[in-house]
């Protein structure tokens, strides 16, 4: 059996909203790990593809940046992300009817701040029947290939916690990196006897990850398999257990578990931003929503300043320091 997992983030650059770190893991019962990384797009081709414009109406699973539509589009900007994430949830046995239900399935801990204290009914861009049909097709493809979608996760790091971690680590890149290490630890603990193979989208321009792995897994013996711009790969051994992790440039385009992790992280972040905007628009009905990126976030912060003052809300809990 091969445990094949992926990790990716969404929201590393914005000034408002959380950093989200997504993870997905598949178990391939009849796959020999010696054959290298499987092509799950090919193996599950009856149900999934990478193009959101597939004529067969298969589920698009790809880099979230390729699937998130513009807010000005005629169709809902989250429709492809939502279809992929919720169909995968349904295929793995969950039936979220709201973002709270989805967050429970993904083990998201919602930050305890006022602007995240609401709930959004799901789905946003599809009917429940449409998603059930897509999930049924995916479920059959998984079963036919002896593949199981074992895990979907997302960690949400809101601005207040993000700022505390940046202060402690002196670098926001390390906040992201430590989040990745927590996901690696979860995967290894869950499958200690299965030698998980984990594909992580490369973190910026970073090529070397040995020191971070040593700090996160101090009891492990770590071997550098390769370190080059497109791929850094490490093998970790500890107490008779092994994990291989690869940091890959543009991993979401090459490895389906990483693409699904990217979609999970982005969809969760978008749902969190819906909550944030809903809170402030309730106070200022004419307020235009924000995606949280720097230029528009500055506009947004100027407009909500009276609300922040009137409700005694802490800017350090809302706005990232870097």
Please, which pLDDT band fits residue 13 given cuts at 50, 70 and 90? very high
Is pLDDT at 72 greater than 90 in this prediction? no
Written as six digits, the tokens of 304 are 């909500």
pLDDT at residue number 35: 82
Question: Mean pLDDT across the stretch 12-40?
Answer: 94
pLDDT given for residue 74 in this prediction: 79
Contact 228, 197 (CB under 8 A): no
Question: Across residues 164-187, what is the average pLDDT?
Answer: 96
Q: How confident is the model at residue 73 (pLDDT cuts 50, 70, 90)?
A: confident
CA 275, chain centre distance (Å): 18
Mean pLDDT score across all residues of the chain: 97
pLDDT at 5 over 80: yes
Task: For 126-171, write each residue's pLDDT tens digit.
Answer: 999 999 999 999 999 999 999 999 999 999 999 999 999 999 998 9
Structurally, at CATH architecture level, domain 2-318 sits in: 2-Layer Sandwich (3.30)
**34 or 9, higher pLDDT:** 9
Tokens (6 digits) for 83: 């279809």
Please give the pLDDT value at position 145: 97
Listing from the earlier edge strand, what are the strands of the sheet with 197-201?
147-157, 19-28, 2-10, 197-201, 241-248, 231-238, 221-228
In percent, how much of the chain has pLDDT > 70? Answer: 100
Strand partners, 20: 10, 156
For 213-242, what is the mean pLDDT?
A: 97
Q: Quick one: tokens of 254?
A: 């090459």
Burial of 281 (0-12, 13-18, 19+ CB in 10 A): middle
CA distance linking residue 275 with residue 270, whole number of Å: 9
Are the C-beta atoms of 146 and 304 separated by less than 8 Å? no
18, 144, 225 from 171: Cα distances, Å: 16, 46, 27
> Burial letters for 154-168: b for 16+ Cβ neighbours within 10 Å, e otherwise?
bbbbbbbbbbebbee
CA 155 to CA 9: how far, in whole Å? 9
Asked whether 123 and 89 are in contact (CB, 8 A), the reply is: no
State the pTM of this model: 0.97
């Amino acid at each position: 059996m091969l445990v094949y997992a992926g990790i990716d983030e969404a929201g590393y650059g914005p000034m408002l909203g959380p950093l989200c770190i997504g993870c997905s893991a598949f178990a391939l019962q009849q796959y020999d790990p010696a054959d290298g990384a499987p092509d799950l797009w090919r193996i599950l081709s009856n149900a999934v593809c990478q193009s959101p414009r597939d004529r067969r109406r298969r589920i698009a699973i790809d880099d979230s940046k390729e699937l998130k539509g513009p807010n000005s589009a005629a169709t809902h900007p989250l429709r492809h992300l939502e279809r992929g994430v919720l169909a995968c949830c349904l295929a793995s046995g969950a039936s979220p009817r709201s973002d709270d239900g989805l967050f429970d399935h993904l083990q998201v801990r919602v930050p305890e701040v006022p602007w995240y204290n609401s709930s959004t009914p799901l789905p946003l861009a599809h009917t429940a029947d449409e998603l059930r049909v897509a999930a049924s097709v995916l479920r059959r493809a998984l079963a036919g290939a002896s593949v199981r979608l074992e895990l979907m996760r997302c960690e949400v790091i809101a601005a207040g916690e993000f700022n505390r971690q940046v202060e402690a680590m002196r670098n926001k890149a390390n906040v992201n990196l430590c989040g990745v290490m927590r996901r690696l630890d979860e995967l290894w603990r869950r499958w200690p006897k299965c030698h998980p193979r984990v594909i992580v989208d490369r973190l910026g321009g970073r090529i070397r990850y040995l020191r971070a792995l040593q700090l996160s897994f101090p009891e492990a013996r770590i071997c550098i398999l390769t370190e080059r711009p497109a791929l850094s790969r490490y093998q970790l051994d500890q107490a008779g257990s092994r994990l291989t992790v690869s940091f890959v440039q543009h991993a979401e385009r090459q490895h389906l578990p990483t693409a699904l992790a990217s979609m999970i992280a982005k969809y969760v972040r978008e749902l969190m931003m819906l909550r944030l905007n809903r809170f402030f628009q309730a106070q200022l009905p004419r307020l235009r929503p924000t995606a949280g990126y720097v230029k528009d976030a500055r506009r947004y912060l100027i407009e909500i300043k009276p609300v922040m003052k009137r409700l005694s809300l802490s800017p350090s809990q809302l706005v990232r320091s870097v």
